[in-house]
Structure 1
């Protein structure tokens, strides 16, 4: 019973401070309660508590930190258009530029390489958006 009280006691700071380590210690306390329920003595209960808590902190915390550092995978706005394919509607070159159909809309476009020319009907890839102009290859 004391282990369950400890688990609840460790769960309160988890909710208040949002520190996941308290949750891992609470899970360790629940594991200690299970050990006590299975007839384990005081020493095995503490060993299970410490072992489960340390194992969770050692495994889950680095995974959570790595996940937190990753940037979101969902791109929106003009960032979502980078890397998309488009169809050339009017001749596109590195100088004057031309027009492409990108994501159902007509965009001004210019070639990334100033010497490259794309004719109507060709497929191009958008590498960047500069203002209202798509830069294509």
Structure 2
């Protein structure tokens, strides 16, 4: 059997095993086996084929694997429900302090308390939603922008 055909078979077996396990590591080794198959197709020695496999495998695992894993595991965080309200802007409808008042968050009225119980927030103030506890929004007045 020609050595390039053997390397191609190894690459195919690793590729099929990757499809069954979805680990990404076997795919990188399959690519290294393809590199060795290319060296074998050129008619170079078995030692150079093994060297090509080892160097390519090492490069794929040390350089490609971390980047691929980071991109495969990272996904945009989609906040839904009450978690989507945190960080939103609201307008105070009735005074909010230690005792609950009312705020409008994106068209909906919510009961609200001041995040800092010592702060009384008057009607009409724009606030940020810091947290949601049950059906009550914890809000804090927006800070004034820095002067120019």
Q: How does 1:1-137 map to 2 (within 5 A)?
A: 1-63=5-67, 64=69, 68=73, 73-94=77-98, 96-137=99-140
Normalised TM-score (structure 2): 0.79
- Residues 74-103 of structure 1, C-alpha deviation per residue, up to 9 Å, x if partnerless? 221111111111111111112x22111112
Larger displacement relative to structure 2 (20-29 or 42-51): 42-51
RMSD: 2.2
Unaligned runs of 5+ in 2: 141-148
Runs of at least 5 residues in structure 1 that lack an aligned partner in the other structure:
none
Rounded to whole Å, the distance in 2 between the matches of 1:129 and 1:40 is 67
TM-score by length of 1: 0.84
Aligned residues: 135
Separation in structure 2 between the aligned mates of residue 135 and residue 102 of structure 1, nearest angstrom:
12
